[in-house]
Structure 1
Amino acid sequence: MSPYQSWAYGLNEIRFQGAEGGFSREALSELLEKVPLAIAVTLGAQQRFAFANRLFRSALSVPDEDLIGRTVSEVMGDRYTPELQDAREKTFQTGEPQELKDYPLVLTPGTTTYWDIKLLPVRDGDDRINGILTLAAHVTERVKARSEAEIKAREVTLHNERLALAVEATEMGLWEWNAQSGETFWSDRQKEIFGLAKDEPATYEFWYSAIHPEDREHVVSSIGALSEPRSGGQLQLEHRIIRPDGEIRWILSRGRMLYEIVDGELKPARLLGTVVDITERRRGEEVRQLLVQELNHRVKNLFAMTSGMIALTARTAQTPKEMAAALRGRIEALARAHELIRPAITGSEPADGETSIEEIVQAILAPHIIQDGPPQMTLDGPPVRIGAKAATVLTLVLHELATNASKYGALSVAEGRLAITWMQGAMLTLLWREENGPAVAGAPAAEGFGSKLARRSVTDQLGGAIAYDWQPEGLQVRIDLPLSQLRT
């Protein structure tokens, strides 16, 4: 190549052409020496260096005098990777430019640098390829920055996945409300709690209509108060919702209002929050409260029943010794009956195994029956075995009926009579009939606690029904229990 040949640039190639007044080698070298790209020209099939600028030489740590005339393979040695060799060979053989993006090179021991490398064919005046122009940009910082960004993105993704797993584990629903635009976001779990399909949009109208009417005013006013920054922006509410299928659920909703400065004033921006379905917890609390009331109720009844037994025993006993023996027997029977209902009033698990309806009736009624007088109770029904749960419920109900009968009904007087019958058909039906007791004026004005407890036990726990008929001659009660629940 003549020192006076010009270097004409093409889009994908470089041509050296003879022309008057073209760049000299010296002028070209001086022009390219300080360009912030690593530039080199190799000529011939052996790819011998004809030129390399300062950045190229510095990258290879090779002085200029040790580079010109040597082959790429001689200069780079082990650093001349197969991929780089293939790219250069393809450019030289086909004339097609090759490009390597973010290409790693270990140019100095222990240090990896990254380069964007462009390989262009160099042609002579006969349009033959006789060399390669290498342009390389040092992009190590860019690659490191992108790598760090990718690492941070992965960390954020991992954090979000962990957060999602934590939220899923707690079964919390997530929600967000934009106070400026009114836009609302609900997570899938939030929609599930409210009974909204995942593909349905969450709207203010749906949320408002889902709040139980008795709780709506309090909920809406509590959220509205968050618009005032002086409120502190904290929200915690327990309230009921009504799902589209009519089911009522209790939820615990927590939220925080975020504020921003608009025109010099602090304005509400976004309300973020969570929702937890606490229906089972509320039901448990209601059951515990009911059990506390039941314990108080039972303690009062025990005193009343003991007083009644003493009075009944005193009327029939002939001697203090006979009275003591009879009274002791009745108190022991009362203790056995109380042990039968203990699981129901303490919330503990009932004893395993089955028993029969007749055994339950006998155990519950024994403390209330005058043993030495005319028979007060008749039983009639087929042998029916029932499981622990059903036995516990039936024991609790019969105990309540027997307690009331001994305080106010047929078992409160010596001439009173009680007939208990049961039959098994589509359901198990048990009938309780009192006679010859104090006259019944009619149904009480309000359902007592014991009657309410009995009703809930039969309906909620066994899916049955209980009905009271306050006849003048005595109370009549009908209990219907599904056969499928008897062995539970």
Structure 2
Amino acid sequence: MSPFQPWAHGLDEIRFHGGIEGFSREALSELLENVPLAIAVTLGPDQHFAFANRLFRSALSLSQEDLIGRTACAVLGSRYTPEIKALSEKVFETGQPQELKDLALVLPLDAATYWDIKLLPVRDAGNRISGILTLAANVTERVKARSEAELQAREAALHNERLALAVEATELGLWEWNAQSGDTFWSERQKAIFGLGKDEPASYEFWLSAIHPEDRDRVVGSVGALSDPKSGGQLHLEHRIVHPNGEIRWIDSRGRMLYEIVDGELKPARLLGTILDITERRRGDEVRQLLVQELNHRVKNVFAMTSGMVALTAKNAETPREMAKALRGRIEALARAHELIRPAITGSELGDKTTSVHEIVQAVLAPHIDHGARPQIVLEGLPQQIGPKAATALTLVLHELATNAVKYGSLSVPEGHLRVSWTCNGNLALIWQEENGPLIAHAPELEGFGSLLSRKSVTGQLGGTIAHDWRREGLLVRIDLPLEQLDA
């Protein structure tokens, strides 16, 4: 703001009715000497100094005698800039006041100062412009304060930019909720995590509806508890949200309630926080938990299958040497079958080697084949190539079926029989048919872990279907797989 703005009346010109000589030095000194503005009067186009008050003189480190009668150019030297000269000439040409803002001047006792300068026309009794009244206000502190504020603003903007980049790198969503007004702010990342368009408004109602129904009471209760200052104001939750398209995501939400004193009481003011999409992490945790369960399941099955192979081998071997040889072969075959499913239960990398359905079935069932007079296992089907990923999933399913057959089904008794057949006609249809094993009273009431794993492998990884028919005379399983999935 100009230092001249608060004046009660505009000052556009000065009139001397009787000439400048009509004012005595004493009168001018008494009137203007101690005014907190630098004031000077110059006469004529060459601007000879007729008066300069104390502040004007001290700024230039000159006495009144050093100024009176000399021209502005001679007194100011290089400080009489072309800009000041042009404005002075304009006062004489137009008769209108002229003004300069934040003019930088290097004065004798100061490194650098800044001034607001106003030039007013001085008119004589004949209404002719005879000189200029100069009013100058030192605004150095104002300019420095503004420069400091601008510097701080630039630094704040840079800090905010760095913070925004850091937040973007961490993929955090930012949010704020005003507990008094209910106003809500969500960053673009926050909206994206919730499946909300960046131009769509965020609201408490949308947030509430987006929380998974099974988690809603827990989340709302935790947030509501923050209204009590005794809660400490800290929030940390992991919960599910539901996108408008039905997709379910997991988020890690952290926040802090800020309180303020209202009518002598501490009241909730604003809740600020961040969220992080942890869906992939949660899925990874679920996969790891499933793998641990699968490993435990497999270890138990290996012991059960080994026990069954020992019993089966002992029944058919005539000598200990023959039994040892047969048992060693079966255990080695079991190890080869286990190697086929290792990537599925360890999460290790798959190879790029293709195989066939026959090779997979043969490898899985090799530990259980008895080469006696009456074969217990029959394999029927044409060669069908299969990729490494599909081979691992199919091996896992067949290994589970074989394990159950050895423990409970047709391979658990010498007279049992198993036929595995497959055909390719638009898709791969594989039939697992058990007979002459222990009679089946009814289908299992609950789906076991192995059956659950098999179903997920077929439907999830291979995009196919699996159906169990618990016939009294033996289990019948049909697996249908799209051929395009077998190349994976």
TM-score normalised over the length of structure 1:
0.90
Give RMSD over aligned pairs: 2.5
- In structure 2, the CA distance between the partners of 1:126 and 1:428, relative to structure 1 (3 Å rule), is farther
Provide the rounded CA distance (Å) in 1 between the counterparts of 2:28 and 2:368: 122
Q: How many residues align structurally?
A: 480
- In structure 2, the CA distance between the partners of 1:19 and 1:123, relative to structure 1 (3 Å rule), is closer
The answer to whether the 8 Å contact 1:116/1:138 transfers is yes
Tell me whether 1:256 sits opposite 2:278 in the alignment: no
Deviates more, 1:227-236 or 1:323-332: 227-236
Provide the rounded CA distance (Å) in 2 between the counterparts of 1:453 and 1:174: 39
- In structure 2, the CA distance between the partners of 1:98 and 1:337, relative to structure 1 (3 Å rule), is same
Provide the rounded CA distance (Å) in 1 between the counterparts of 2:288 and 2:43: 93
> Is the partner of 2:199 in helix, strand or coil?
coil
| 1:404 alignment counterpart | 404
Residue 303 of structure 1, CA deviation = 0.5
> Is the partner of 1:446 in helix, strand or coil?
coil
Provide the rounded CA distance (Å) in 2 between the counterparts of 1:69 and 1:157: 53
- In structure 2, the CA distance between the partners of 1:335 and 1:430, relative to structure 1 (3 Å rule), is same
| 1:16 alignment counterpart | 16
Residue 65 of structure 1, CA deviation = 1.8
Deviates more, 1:190-199 or 1:37-46: 190-199
Provide the rounded CA distance (Å) in 2 between the counterparts of 1:10 and 1:262: 46
Deviates more, 1:375-384 or 1:434-443: 375-384
Q: What does 1:469-488 correspond to in 2, within 5 Å? A: 469-488=469-488
Residue 191 of structure 1, CA deviation = 2.4
| 2:367 alignment counterpart | 367
What code does the residue aligned with 1:432 have?
A: W
> Is the partner of 1:298 in helix, strand or coil?
helix
Q: What does 1:108-147 correspond to in 2, within 5 Å? A: 108=108, 111-147=111-147
Tell me whether 1:59 sits opposite 2:77 in the alignment: no
The answer to whether the 8 Å contact 1:14/1:121 transfers is yes
The answer to whether the 8 Å contact 2:419/2:432 transfers is yes
- Which deviations, in whole Å up to 9, do the C-alpha atoms of 1:295-352 show, x marking residues without a partner? 1111111100001111111122222111111111111111111111111111222223
> Is the partner of 1:351 in helix, strand or coil?
coil
Provide the rounded CA distance (Å) in 1 between the counterparts of 2:77 and 2:383: 100
> Is the partner of 2:487 in helix, strand or coil?
coil
Provide the rounded CA distance (Å) in 2 between the counterparts of 1:89 and 1:19: 21
The answer to whether the 8 Å contact 2:19/2:125 transfers is no
The answer to whether the 8 Å contact 1:370/1:414 transfers is no
| 2:92 alignment counterpart | 92
Residue 41 of structure 1, CA deviation = 2.1
Residue 288 of structure 1, CA deviation = 0.9
Deviates more, 1:44-53 or 1:134-143: 44-53
- In structure 2, the CA distance between the partners of 1:425 and 1:147, relative to structure 1 (3 Å rule), is farther
- In structure 2, the CA distance between the partners of 1:344 and 1:89, relative to structure 1 (3 Å rule), is same
| 2:298 alignment counterpart | 298
Q: What does 1:448-487 correspond to in 2, within 5 Å? A: 448-487=448-487
TM-score normalised over the length of structure 2:
0.90
What code does the residue aligned with 2:215 have?
A: D
| 1:227 alignment counterpart | 227
What code does the residue aligned with 2:187 have?
A: S
What code does the residue aligned with 2:448 have?
A: G
The answer to whether the 8 Å contact 1:114/1:138 transfers is yes
Deviates more, 1:103-112 or 1:390-399: 103-112
- In structure 2, the CA distance between the partners of 1:110 and 1:59, relative to structure 1 (3 Å rule), is closer
| 2:376 alignment counterpart | 376
Deviates more, 1:14-23 or 1:437-446: 14-23
The answer to whether the 8 Å contact 1:43/1:50 transfers is yes
Tell me whether 1:267 sits opposite 2:264 in the alignment: no
| 2:417 alignment counterpart | 417
- In structure 2, the CA distance between the partners of 1:142 and 1:225, relative to structure 1 (3 Å rule), is same
Q: What does 1:186-205 correspond to in 2, within 5 Å? A: 186-205=186-205
Q: What does 1:230-379 correspond to in 2, within 5 Å? A: 230-379=230-379
In the alignment, structure 1 segments of 5+ residues that lack a partner are 1-8
Residue 357 of structure 1, CA deviation = 2.4
- In structure 2, the CA distance between the partners of 1:115 and 1:325, relative to structure 1 (3 Å rule), is same
| 2:33 alignment counterpart | 33
What code does the residue aligned with 1:86 have?
A: A
> Is the partner of 1:394 in helix, strand or coil?
helix
Residue 138 of structure 1, CA deviation = 0.4
Matched residues, percent identical? 75
Residue 109 of structure 1, CA deviation = 7.7
Residue 450 of structure 1, CA deviation = 0.7
> Is the partner of 2:282 in helix, strand or coil?
helix
- In structure 2, the CA distance between the partners of 1:145 and 1:335, relative to structure 1 (3 Å rule), is same
What code does the residue aligned with 1:186 have?
A: W
Residue 409 of structure 1, CA deviation = 1.8
Deviates more, 1:423-432 or 1:97-106: 423-432
Provide the rounded CA distance (Å) in 2 between the counterparts of 1:354 and 1:32: 103
What code does the residue aligned with 2:277 have?
A: D
| 2:215 alignment counterpart | 215
What code does the residue aligned with 2:413 have?
A: V
The answer to whether the 8 Å contact 1:316/1:373 transfers is no
The answer to whether the 8 Å contact 1:87/1:98 transfers is yes
Provide the rounded CA distance (Å) in 1 between the counterparts of 2:481 and 2:17: 107
- Which deviations, in whole Å up to 9, do the C-alpha atoms of 1:347-400 show, x marking residues without a partner? 222223333322222222211222344333343444433333222222212211
> Is the partner of 2:374 in helix, strand or coil?
coil
Tell me which stretches of 4 or more aligned residues in structure 1 moved more than 6 Å. 19-22
| 1:5 alignment counterpart | none
What code does the residue aligned with 2:436 have?
A: N
Provide the rounded CA distance (Å) in 2 between the counterparts of 1:479 and 1:265: 69
Residue 129 of structure 1, CA deviation = 3.0
Residue 292 of structure 1, CA deviation = 0.8
- In structure 2, the CA distance between the partners of 1:23 and 1:328, relative to structure 1 (3 Å rule), is same
Provide the rounded CA distance (Å) in 2 between the counterparts of 1:214 and 1:83: 75
